[in-house]
Chain A
Amino acid sequence: MVKKAVRSLKYVYLGLMVFFLYIPIIYLIVYSFNDFTVGRRVAYANLGKWKGFTLQNYANLFSGEAGSSLLLTLEIAAISSIIATVIGTAAAIGIYAMKKRTRNLILNVSELPMVNPDLVTGITFMMLFAFVNSVLVKLGLKQVGDIPKLLIAHISFSIPYVIFSVMPRLRQSSDMLYEAAMDLGCSPLQALFKAVIPDIMPGITSGFIMALTMSLDDFVVSYFVSDLKSVLSVYIYSSARGAKGVNPALATVIFIPLVTLLLIVNLRRISKEREYEIQSKKVKLKDKGGNL
């Protein structure tokens, strides 16, 4: 009886915590169907005053700044994480082959962007680009635009995550792989692509996912770096402080695909595990039968 009460208490606690995490998401999704028009303006800032049901917010989403900032975010995340993965993986392989002292020096410096508060990273990039652009202007050249600036910043803070995901894999993989492949007549690049990389693929994948996540989730660095184009989080921050507010339909278009994707991945895993469980039970039964 007590055990049962404790168990249900556990579920109540988990349920409450899950609910806490989803309150704002539910709130936004509900209000994404609210009519926000006031005269000729659309005042999303009225997030809390129910005026009537409409689907207009979803139509506005793709024509307005919200849509373009969402696209820019995806674009920057995709490109920066791919480049970061390539540079980071190569770096990990190279650093691994270095002498201990050089290796530690490089790894320590690489840890800086991970330890460094985003705020400081953002400011350093702002200053760097302001300086570079002022030199370019003096020379009469074209300035570095927002997209290259965002890409450079995002790649820079993502690479260390790739390196530190790939390194442990390299440690597990055989040291001799590369040399062996070369001895067997591979060119260095062939040795890399045919022997080393397949062996460390799981590390590369998780590094890529980390890089992607860091880029998608970034606000602070982009906030300090960009002038004209805003990624999603910067758009949200500046509109939230302004009069217009943020189109809550954004929450739905991010949330639904995300949950779908994660659930599919997870359900697949669960069904696999269950299959495995059933099969192992069958095996056990057979064993028991054999004993009989």
Chain B
Amino acid sequence: MLKKLLAVALAVIMIAALAACGKKTEEEADYSFADGDQYEYIGGTLNILNWGEYIDEELISIFEEETGVKVTYVEMTSNEEMLIKLRAADCVYDLCFPSDYIIEQLIANDLLLPLDYSKIPNAKNIQPRVMKIAEGFDPGNKYSLPYFWGTVGILYNTKLVDEPVDSWDILWNEKYAGQIWQYDSVRDAIGISLIRLGYDINTRNPDEVNAAKDELIKQIPLLKGRGTDDIRTNMINEQAALAVIYSGDAYECCDSNNDLAYVVPKEGSNVWFDNVVIPKTAKNVEAAHAFINFINDANLAARNTEYCFYSTPNQGALDLLDEDFTSNEIFNPTDETLARCAVFHDLGDFVEVFNRAWDEYVSATGVH
């Protein structure tokens, strides 16, 4: 009897699954991609290392169809994880999207392949002003091309926070104990603490780093948690009041929940650039270049931007995007905001001081 019941239950699930297969929701294709002759067959495989939810995965499917390349897409949650993977002798990735200071270090360690711009005609779409800023960590834009950029700030729920939010100090306010998310990343967390104390985020003074670490340890009892991509859902579902967040994620959260707001504090913050790079160990350099060119097609970049909510440096895409999108201050920060933000730089061997401070801080989170 039981056996029969189970068989029936199994059958129902199977049929349900099949029915669901047929009922795929229709996608509205805003940005058409009609030009089928533009991309030649390349074949082989392409291993991409990227951040979580940092590309519209349909773009990957289109790329696979157009070029016959089989893409393997791996997600990471921190720059340091990417660095470890790229520095490993057995690195298997053909494309990666690290941030500014990591690129600086990768260049210094001679781990990147110079880009062949003749294979990336769409690079012309990237705004010259962003290219210029990127030269700060990649002179001559030799090794990297900007993908997305943004700021770091505070996301807060206006229903739960009634005072004006304009300073990092609010993340140390005991009134919000148990309702604050800190970012689980060395440079971001220590950076915020440094700025709050009035120090430079690229400081090479061990005392300043240790002071910043001590402040972070003081903050531990007030935290709900330390996270990365998981902070988004938690904030959208109103499980916490305040969070450190990247601007694109903030935009997505505010879009899903109207009670959320984002601010870049008055003390200043970090402005960052995630560029696409090709590791020296890449096996399919041809496909890697084709992919870079592909994602910089104005139509596709616009579509990708709408999916990721991050600020695109692609002028072609910006021209196509809706006014609502481009006029949003989270997406398009004012010059005033940007003026108080600084870019992270590679710290060379001094990174060891940051790492030890971070190690101590993280260990402290475990012993309450």
Interface residues of A (CB under 8 A from B): 37-41, 43, 45-46, 48-49, 54-59, 61-62, 129-130, 133-134, 137, 143-144, 227-229, 238, 240-245, 252, 256-257, 259-260, 263-264, 267
Contact = CB atoms under 8 A, between A and B. Distances in A.
A242 B20 contact: no
Contacts of B267: none
A263 B6 contact: yes
B6 A259 contact: yes
B9 interface: yes
B232 to A, nearest CB: 5
Interface residues of B, number: 43
Contacts of A57: 20
Interface in B186-221: none
Contacts of A259: 6
Contact of A137 (B17, B24, B89, B256): B89
Nearest to B28: A40
Contacts of B229: 241-244
The 7 closest A-B pairs by CB, nearest first: A134-B89, A133-B90, A55-B20, A243-B229, A59-B20, A242-B52, A58-B17
Interface of B: 2-3, 6-7, 9-10, 13, 16-17, 19-21, 23-25, 27, 47, 52-53, 56, 72, 74-75, 77, 85, 88-90, 92, 227-230, 232-233, 236-237, 249, 255-256, 281, 306-307
A218 B24 CA distance: 34
Given A49-B237, A129-B90, A252-B13, A243 B232 contact: yes
With most chain A CB atoms within 10 A of its CB, the pick from B53, B89, B229, B306 is: B89
A241 B230 contact: yes
A46 B89 contact: no
B233 A137 contact: no
Contacts of B13: 58, 252, 256
A38 B237 CA distance: 13
With most chain A CB atoms within 10 A of its CB, the pick from B17, B21, B24, B230 is: B17
Contacts of A49: 237
Contact of B16 (A46, A55, A242): A55
Contacts of A62: 17, 21
B52 A58 contact: no
Given A46-B237, A242-B230, A267-B3, A55 B19 contact: yes
A243 B233 contact: yes
